[in-house]
Structure 1
Amino acid sequence: MQTFTVEHTPAEIVKIFPKASDLFKERRIDFCCGGDKPLSEVFQKDNIDKDQVLSELNIAYQQWNKENHELVDWDSLPLSDLVDHIVSSHHTYLKKELAPLGEFVTKVYRVHSSNQPHLKQLYRTYNEFRMEMEEHMIKEENEVFPLIKEYENNPSEKLKARIHEANGDLEEEHEAAGNLLKSIREITLDFTPPTDACNSYRITYARLADIEQDTFQHVHLENNVLFKRL
C-alpha cells in the first residue's frame, strides 16, 4: 500500500486519496492552485510539523483503504468525459448555489453588520468571488472546453498551442478565486459563527464551507488533471 512522503505533492496525494483534501484544508495546505509543489517545500515554507502531518495523513489513508471505494481514474478518463464531469458536477453546483448563497450573505450583512463589521468585508469578498466564477465558467464552457473536445478528436500542435494559451489565463483566474476563498475562510474564522448566531448566520457559514470544498476540488481537477494531461 502507498505510503506518502515529503516527496509527494498535495495534488498527487488527493488524486490517490481524495479525503486528504480535508486534512489539507484544515492545515491550509494548497492542493489545487499551488498543489504541484512537494510537501517538503510546503512544510518548510509554512513552518508545518511534517512528522505530525505525514502521520495523520498515512493513518487516515490506511483506515480509508480498509473501506470499499470506487475511485475514478481521472488520468485515463477521456478528456471529453472529464470536461463533461466538471461541467455537470462543479459548474452546475456553482450555478445553482452562487445566487442563493449571495442572498444569505446579503441578509446577514444587512441585519448584523452594525455589530459585526467583518460582515461588510465578507459581503464584498463573496460578491467578487461570485463574479469571478461566473465569468470564468462562461469562458470555459464557451471557449476552452470546446477546444479541448476538438483537440481530442482532431489533435494538432496549432490547436494545442491555443489551448495552452487559454489555460494560462484560466490558471491565473483559479489562483485569484482560491485567494478569495482563503480570505473568506479568514474573515469567518474558519467558518465558525458566533455562539449566539441565528439560523441564517449558521446556514450562511455552512454553505460557504461547502462552496469552498467544491471549488477546491473543481480547481484541482482542472489544474492538476485536465490541464496537466494537455
Structure 2
Amino acid sequence: MTAISPSSTLAELVIARPARTRLFEQLRLDYCCGGSRTLAEACAQRELDPSTVATLIAALDAEPGDRDDAHDVTRASVGDLCDHIVAAHHGALRRDLPLISDLVATVVRVHGVQRPELRDLQRVFTTMRVSLEQHMVVEEETLFPACRATAAGVLRGVDEELLGQHEADHDEVGESLVALRELSGGYSAKRALCGTHRALLESLRELELDLHQHVHEENNILFPRVRAAAVR
C-alpha cells in the first residue's frame, strides 16, 4: 500500500485519485469547499483518526480494477472543463431543481403540520435554488468566457474579485447542503413518511453528491488552473 500523508490536502488527494471521493463522502470529509485543508485538519474537525483514514484511502487505492470514473477531469483543458461543468452539472441542476421543488412542496403540504422542520427545509432549499440559478447564469455568461480567454492568453489577468465571489457562493451552497442534510436526518429512508418523501430524500442526497463534485471541479481544478495561466 502507498502511504498517504496527513499533510496532503483533500483536494490534492482527490485530484490524484478521483475515486477517493466515494470514501470522503462516506466519512463526510469536505473535499470541495474544504479542499484546501489537510487530511489531518479535516479529520480533526470530524473527530476521526487521520492514520486510520489514511489506511482506508490506501486500501481503496489498492483495490483491483480501474477505480476512477467519468468524473476524472483533471487532464481536461480549461475550455473542455467549462463545457463539462455546463453540460454535466448545470444541465443536471436545471433538470432536477424544479423537480425537487415540486417534491418539497408536496411533502410540506401533506406532512408540514406533523413535521414542522419540513418548512425549514423548504425555505433553505428554495433560497439555495434561487442562488444556484443566478450563479449558473453568471458562470456561463461571464466567468467561463473569461476563464477560456485567460487560458488562451487573450486576457492577461483573471478577475480575482469574480473568482472570489464564486468561491464565496460555493461556501454558501456548502452551508445550505449541511442544513438540508441535518433537516432531513441524513437522508435516511427510515425517516420517510410516504413514497413522495422517500423520493425527496433520495433526490436531495443525489443533489448533494453532484454539487460536491461540481464545486470540487471549480474550486480545486478550474480556478487554480486559470490563476496559473494568468501569471504565465
Q: TM-score, normalised by structure 2?
A: 0.90
Post-superposition Cα deviations, 1:3-55, rounded to whole Å, max 9, x if no partner, equal 32212211112222323223222322110011111111222344322232222
Identity %: 31
Contact 1:13 1:20 survives alignment (8 Å): yes
Q: What is the deviation of 1:59? A: 1.3
Matches within 5 A, 1:153-172: 153-157=152-156, 160-162=157-159, 164-172=160-168
Contact 1:7 1:39 survives alignment (8 Å): yes
Match of 1:49 in 2: 49
Rounded to whole Å, the distance in 1 between the matches of 2:162 and 2:56 is 38
Q: What is the deviation of 1:69? A: 5.0
Give 2:38's aligned amino acid: P
Which has the larger displacement, 67-76 or 7-16?
A: 67-76
Rounded to whole Å, the distance in 1 between the matches of 2:139 and 2:49 is 38
Q: TM-score, normalised by structure 1?
A: 0.90
Match of 1:62 in 2: 62
Give 2:158's aligned amino acid: A
Post-superposition Cα deviations, 1:164-196, rounded to whole Å, max 9, x if no partner, equal 221100000000001100111111111014456
Q: What is the deviation of 1:74? A: 3.6
Match of 1:209 in 2: 205
Rounded to whole Å, the distance in 2 between the matches of 1:123 and 1:215 is 18
Which has the larger displacement, 212-221 or 25-34?
A: 25-34
- Partner of 2:8, secondary structure, is coil
Matched, 1:218 2:217: no
Relative distance call for 1:195 and 1:228 in structure 2 (3 A) is closer
Give 2:195's aligned amino acid: N
Contact 1:23 1:57 survives alignment (8 Å): yes
Give 1:153's aligned amino acid: A
Rounded to whole Å, the distance in 2 between the matches of 1:56 and 1:2 is 11
Match of 2:3 in 1: 3
RMSD of aligned C-alpha atoms?
Answer: 1.9
Work out the number of aligned pairs and report it: 225
Rounded to whole Å, the distance in 1 between the matches of 2:20 and 2:195 is 30
Matched, 1:180 2:179: no
Q: Is there any run of 5+ residues in structure 2 with no aligned partner, and where?
A: 227-232
Relative distance call for 1:5 and 1:149 in structure 2 (3 A) is same
Give 1:182's aligned amino acid: V
**Structure 1 segments (4+ residues) deviating >4 Å:** 69-73
Q: What is the deviation of 1:2? A: 4.3
Q: Is there any run of 5+ residues in structure 1 with no aligned partner, and where?
A: none
Rounded to whole Å, the distance in 2 between the matches of 1:45 and 1:194 is 27
Give 2:184's aligned amino acid: T
Match of 2:21 in 1: 21
Match of 1:227 in 2: 223
